Amino acid sequence: MECSSAADCGDNSWISSQYCSDGDVYQLYRTWSCNSGNCDYTDVSKLKESCSDGCIGGSCVDETLTDLPDLKAKYLFNQYPKSPSAGDSITMVFDIESIGEKDASDIGYRLYTGSSDPDKTGVVSNLSVGKRIFIVKTVSYSNAGTYYPRIVIDHNRNIQEIDESNNEVSTSLTVS
């Protein structure tokens, strides 16, 4: 685009999503300029907000929200068979860990199969702070292929947590 000044090119503005770095909130900032009659821009990571209590998921942690549960999904893998075939009963294992400041109860989860085969759901009645539970579910795939099952903890977002971004983990699974 041709220009005679930066004002011809566009408004300087924040772009992309906010993210955490060194405990503070950052975001890309786009600055427009006019160089030799052509519009050009530069994107620079800039501090958007200093956080006194740290940063999670692109936002400053609100000190009043730290006295909440926080659930984390860390593992998802196929236990048996390691090389499944179409129609096999496949044992999948995943975990839920309570890493927050408060116990959590009525924890819903959904194991998405990554196919048209039915998802698996369930509820953990209670999980104390610092505890982890491993859950075993059996799934089956009708057809051969590569699938991407994922587990989502608190999939209905019924539990207010310190960090909602750590509730999901996925894996790939090849079925012959």
The listed CATH number (1.20.120.1630, 2.40.10.120, 2.60.40.10, 1.10.3720.10) that belongs to domain 71-175: 2.60.40.10
Task: State the chain's mean pLDDT as an integer.
Answer: 91
Residue-wise pLDDT for 124-161, tens only, equals 999 999 999 999 999 999 999 999 999 999 998 899 88
Check the CA dihedral 120-70-15-13 and report its sign. positive
Are 100 and 69 a contacting pair, CB within 8 Å? yes
Q: Note the pLDDT of residue 23.
A: 87
Does the global pTM surpass 0.85?
no
Q: Are 15 and 43 in contact (CB under 8 A)?
A: yes
CB under 8 A, 24+ apart: contacts of 107-110 = 107/71, 107/153, 107/154, 107/159, 108/153, 108/154, 108/155, 108/156, 108/158, 109/135, 109/151, 109/152, 109/153, 109/154, 109/155, 110/151, 110/152, 110/155
Q: Which helix (H) or strand (E) holds 68?
A: none
**Which is it for the CA torsion 129, 61, 53, 74, positive or negative?**
positive
* Domain coordinates in residue numbering, the chain: 6-61, 71-175
88 versus 165: the higher-pLDDT residue is: 88
Q: What was the pLDDT predicted at 65? A: 60
The pLDDT, as a whole number, for residue 54 is 81
pLDDT tens digit sequence for 51-97: 987 887 788 877 656 688 999 998 998 889 999 999 999 999 999 99
